[in-house]
A = this chain, B = another copy of it.
Amino acid sequence: MTGAVYIVGLGPGHPAQLTPEAAEALAAAEVLLGYSSYLARVPERAGQLREASDNGEELARAAAALEGAVAGQRVAMVSGGDPGVFAMASAVCEAIERGPERWRQVDLHILPGVTAMLAVAARVGAPLGHDFCAINLSDNLKPWTLVEKRLAAAAGAGFVLALYNPVSRARPWQLPAALDLLRRHLPDTTPVVFGRAVGRADERVIITALDEADAGFADMATCVLIGSAETRIVKRPGREPLVYTPRNARPSA
């Protein structure tokens, strides 16, 4: 038997939002690798080896997975949401490109999942109903000036924005700076959604407007959606409001 690496998207967190192919790959794995808080979501199984690692150790984790597969193991590497969106799939591809030739022969499967922005959007309506961008707000791996350039370009061209990794203990000022920048491009009333841990016990969703958006509403587990000038809030008596971006766009948008 030859080994394989499965990079598995766990989705937003609720088991009912995990795809069957992902659940099967997790159950069939001999070794599970991943960031500890993602691994904690996967039910324990007898005989499975688990190796938790920290954020920032992605290339080492990728190397461990690839070497495990070379040695004949069936390895599952877990990612929150979708593994291709600011997660492990890119790190594994990078490891393969830079690593020894034998890694190119590894049987590699990437199993997509529901990424955070889709879960947050579904929870509040359809804020991503028109053209949108996803931006990783972390400047660990890119200069902040590039983040600023992309925020301005996207907001200026009428894209809705999904901000991933908006804040962490080591990055406290980036989200406030991003919100300040966006206020120069978008109306004060632009809807903003802070969606944290959607579908999990500790879910918290806040719908507000850009002029009242407070970076304190976000933590590491939050995805922040910033509307375009077209995005609307529909009040519903006795129910949560809906936030949506119309399918139509005016020429001036």
Residues of A within 8 A of B (CB): 9, 11-12, 14-21, 24, 58, 82-86, 89-94, 96-97, 104-105, 108, 110-115, 118-119, 121-123, 125-136, 141-143, 145-146, 149-150, 153-154, 156-159, 232, 234-239, 242, 244-249, 251, 253
Contact = CB atoms under 8 A, between A and B. Distances in A.
Contact of A150 (B158, B235, B245, B246): B158
B126 A131 contact: no
Contacts of A14: 21
Question: How many copies are assembled?
Answer: 2
Contacts of A93: 125-126, 129, 232, 234, 242, 244
Contacts of A92: 126
A90 B247 contact: yes
A214 to B, nearest CB: 24
A13 to B, nearest CB: 12
B110 A126 contact: yes
A157 to B, nearest CB: 4
Contact of A248 (B127, B141, B150): B141
A125 B110 contact: yes
Contact of A19 (B18, B146, B248): B18
B132 A134 contact: yes
Given A112-B121, A114-B82, A146-B253, A133 B136 contact: no
Contacts of A239: 104-105
A133 B130 contact: no
B237 A104 contact: yes
Nearest to A121: B84
Contact of A16 (B16, B20, B82): B20
A132 B133 contact: yes
A110 B154 CA distance: 26
- The 6 nearest A-B residue pairs measured at CB: A90-B129, A93-B244, A89-B126, A153-B157, A16-B21, A142-B249
